[in-house]
Amino acid sequence: MFIRLKGRAVPLVLLVISSLWMAAVLLPFFYSLVFPNVDIRHIVWALEGRETLQGNLAHMVEQITSSGGHLKRGIQVAIYWGGSAEYKIGESHTTRTTDVAYLAWFEKRSKPTIFVIERTEIDGSRLIFRTYEGTFLGALRVYLLPASAMALSLYWLRRSRILQERMPEGTPPHN
């Protein structure tokens, strides 16, 4: 049996879903701006030359600054939080990952780059940090998909309303 929907029901449902999708993308981003990860903030400060780190982190920062220079400016553009749990016979492991992407300007580079700092916490005790260069499309894709779905639903909803207003009285709607 097929469900026959009214002309504006489908665009309204799509608008609600795309709005929730946009909120799911933007709320963690704004949360991370207000409450940044302390470990990642220390790495950014070390890349700017405002702080010195110890151990493996100092070596990682030294490698980055020797190739690209100190960080002149970094604007956070994306964040990803993820987690996983693995259960095997007799043992279990949990992993939490945080990726923060910055639009970064380094002293020795003429153009900005997408610079990603990844923090992985294994079993609540072991921390692993990794940095890599991302792509502009990869950072924008997170926002473009829900924004385009929202724009499409708004266009469809507006178009269906205009068509409904132009329809003469007594004419059955066509779907």
Amino acid, single-letter form, for residue 111: K
Structure tokens at 136: 């502009």
Task: Please say whether the beta carbons of 102 and 77 come within 8 A.
Answer: yes
The residues with which 97 forms a beta bridge, in sequence order, are 82, 120
Which structural domain, as residue segments, surrounds residue 65? 9-161
Q: Which has the closest alpha carbon to 122: 145, 158, 152, 98?
A: 98
For residue 106, the model assigns a pLDDT of: 94
The reported pTM is 0.75
**Is the Cα torsion angle 114, 117, 48, 65 positive or negative in sign?**
negative
Q: Per the domain annotation, does 2 fall within a domain?
A: no
Q: Per the domain annotation, does 122 fall within a domain?
A: yes
pLDDT (tens digit, 9 = 90+) per residue, 111-152? Answer: 999 999 999 999 888 899 999 998 888 878 888 989 999 999
Q: Per the domain annotation, does 150 fall within a domain?
A: yes
Q: Per the domain annotation, does 17 fall within a domain?
A: yes
How big, in percent rounded to 5, are the helix, strand and coil portions of the chain? 45, 30, 25
Q: Per the domain annotation, does 173 fall within a domain?
A: no
The low-confidence residues of the chain, meaning pLDDT below 50, are: 1
For residue 117, the model assigns a pLDDT of: 94
For residue 55, the model assigns a pLDDT of: 86
For residue 174, the model assigns a pLDDT of: 56
Q: Per the domain annotation, does 149 fall within a domain?
A: yes
Q: Per the domain annotation, does 171 fall within a domain?
A: no
For residue 140, the model assigns a pLDDT of: 81
For residue 1, the model assigns a pLDDT of: 42
Q: What is the dihedral of CA 61, 101, 104, 135, to 10 degrees?
A: 110
Q: Per the domain annotation, does 4 fall within a domain?
A: no
* Main-chain dihedrals φ then ψ at residue 78, nearest 5 degrees: -160, 160
Domain count of the fold of the chain: 1
b/e per residue 120-146 (b: at least 16 CB within 10 A): ebeeeeeeebeeeebeeeebeebeeeb
Helices (H), 35-135: 38-48, 55-68
Q: How far apart (Å, rounded) are the C-alpha atoms in residues 157 and 151?
A: 10
